[in-house]
Amino acid sequence: MTPKLLKWLYGLVGMVHLLGIVFNNQEILNATKPFLMPILLYYVYQSQIEQVTLNTILLWISLVFAWLGDLALMQGDTYFLLGVGMFFMAQLCYIFLFLKSVEEPIKLKFLPLLPYLLAGIFLFYILLPKTDELLIPVFIYGLSLIGMAGIARIRQGRTNIKSYRYVLIGTLLFLISDSLLALNKFVWDIPYAGIGIMTTYMGAQILITEGVLQDN
């Protein structure tokens, strides 16, 4: 299957999954979510079959951890911490990947990172008092998530423009997705939260993947 067809397949499976959320059909959800990340993994393989690089391998590892996180979170609260741990590892791999996939070393700059710092402070202010015994893992994961998005922001000028834009938008969507998930779980019962969480998550993963491939 060609990379183009695999992207269409990813979108199709994603749309069916969203329909499962709309109609609250657990069978559809169970039949679609486990295949999202494997489709992206195969897409990366097909796109880089003749030019596997360290960036490709790091992307594979990130997507594998995300897939394991998806599977864990599908089990409900029982494996919630395991799911958080898997996504934490995915974020660390993304951070390392973004730091490596630049033409010049990244330098920390305060002003570009200020919106991320403010967003993180605001989110923690609302979220952490509600997390009880999960405060430490949620805080640590939140730091990794904000760090991942922040590193994507300061790649500007150090990689090609397509890669920068795809990864930047993808990481912002990831930040929105996980923020919605956490707020819905710990703070408010957000209407149609599942649709928002999965739409932004699926968009985040394909955009980050595409951005990394544009940089290879």
Residues 42-92 pLDDT 10s: 999 999 877 888 889 999 999 999 999 999 999 988 899 999 999 999 999
Residue 134 burial (C-beta neighbours within 10 Å; 0-12, 13-18, 19+): middle
Q: Confidence class of residue 168 from pLDDT cuts 50, 70 and 90?
A: very high
pTM for the model? 0.94
Region of 106 (left: φ > 0; alpha: ψ -120 to 50; beta: rest) is beta
Per residue in 123-157, pLDDT (tens digit) is 999 999 999 899 999 999 999 999 999 999 998 88
As a three-state string, the secondary structure of the chain is CCHHHHHHHHHHHHHHHHHHHHCCCHHHHHHHHHHHHHHHHHHHHHHCCCCCCHHHHHHHHHHHHHHHHHHHHCCHHHHHHHHHHHHHHHHHHHHHHHHHCCCCCCCCCHHHHHHHHHHHHHHHHHHHHHCHHHHHHHHHHHHHHHHHHHHHHCCCCCCCHHHHHHHHHHHHHHHHHHHHHHHHHHCCCCCCHHHHHHHHHHHHHHHHHHHHHHHC
The single residue listed with the structure tokens 């596997």 is 52
Cβ-proximal residues to 25 (8 Å cutoff; 6+ apart), any chain:
19
pLDDT higher than 70, residue 216: no
In the predicted structure, residue 33 carries a pLDDT above the cut 70? yes
Of 165 and 111, which is predicted with more confidence? 165
Q: Confidence band (pLDDT; 50, 70, 90) for 214? A: confident
pLDDT per residue as tens digits for the range 184-206: 999 988 888 999 999 999 999 99
Radius of gyration of the chain (CA): 17
